[in-house]
């Protein structure tokens, strides 16, 4: 298996794989210096692309067309590409490859920065067969679920929009008080992430529980 790209998502994928397995991870990145000295990572060059039948594309959406324009013919005719760009649908990427090659949606549910920091990630693929194959390819290093790529895009979009709205509202409320920018940055860095984890685990502290109780009773006061 080959990983294309070593940006934030590529780093997260490589980090999770190297933490999980003893085999070396094979990576191609346009800028080779970013991979210098990385443990358990082999730097791969385009002349070796033909040796790989399963390739994870961890590059941004705008990089797909120029990458395949240059390297499409370097891959084997039966290569399977797992594309991760949330903004791209199958209809966008299918024309970029050769007739016998395959494009398989493999979409991250969540944020690449968090996946990189926490060394865990959830990917969605569109069929049970694809889920099983991807788990085998990655030595079960990731949580992999069955899910439509458009649903992933919608879920990520809604979560991003609502998170940004919450952060902007927090800034607006704090700017009306004597709370310093330093305090604002500190709570923004810690509390939203902590609240989200506690909510998923039903493990809120007393203050958060009391707020939820108030809201459930119909009260939603800012002050």
Cα of 218 vs its chain's centroid, Å: 36
Strand ranges (DSSP E) for the chain?
A: 2-4, 25-28, 41-43, 54-57, 80-83, 102-105, 107-108, 122-125, 143-146
pLDDT averages per 10-residue partition of the chain, 223 residues: 96 93 88 87 96 97 97 96 96 95 97 91 97 95 96 94 91 89 88 81 83 79 50
Alpha-carbon Rg for the chain, nearest whole angstrom, is 21
Among residues 47, 46, 38, 45, which one has the least CA distance to residue 13? 38
pLDDT at 200: 77
pLDDT of 223 = 46
pTM of the model: 0.86
Q: Please name each of the domains of the chain with its CATH number.
A: 2-149 (3.40.50.720), 152-216 (no CATH)
Crossing angle of helices 149-175/181-200, nearest 10°? 140
pLDDT at residue 98, rounded to an integer: 93
> Which residues fall within 8 angstroms of residue 147, CB to CB, at 6 or more apart?
107, 109, 124, 125, 126
pLDDT of residue 220: 59
């Amino acid at each position: 298996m080959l990983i294309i790209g070593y940006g934030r998502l590529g780093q997260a994928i490589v980090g999770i794989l190297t933490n999980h397995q003893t085999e070396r991870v094979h990576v191609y990145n346009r800028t080779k210096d970013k991979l210098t000295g990385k443990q358990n990572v082999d730097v791969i060059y385009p002349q070796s692309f033909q040796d790989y039948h399963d390739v994870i594309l961890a590059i941004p959406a705008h990089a797909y067309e120029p990458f395949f324009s240059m390297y499409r013919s370097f891959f084997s005719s039966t290569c399977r590409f797992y594309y991760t760009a949330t903004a791209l649908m199958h209809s966008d990427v299918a024309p970029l490859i050769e007739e016998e090659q395959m494009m398989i949606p493999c979409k991250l549910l969540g944020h690449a920065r968090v996946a990189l920091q926490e060394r865990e990630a959830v990917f969605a693929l569109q069929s049970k067969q694809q889920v099983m194959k991807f788990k085998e390819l990655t030595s079960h290093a990731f949580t992999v679920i069955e899910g439509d790529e458009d649903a992933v895009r919608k879920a990520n979009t809604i979560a991003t929009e609502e998170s940004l709205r919450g952060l902007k509202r927090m800034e607006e409320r704090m700017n009306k008080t004597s709370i310093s920018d330093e305090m604002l940055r500190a709570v923004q860095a810690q509390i939203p992430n902590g609240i989200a984890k506690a909510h998923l685990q039903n493990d809120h502290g007393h203050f958060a529980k009391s707020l939820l109780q108030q809201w459930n009773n119909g009260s939603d006061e800012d002050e």
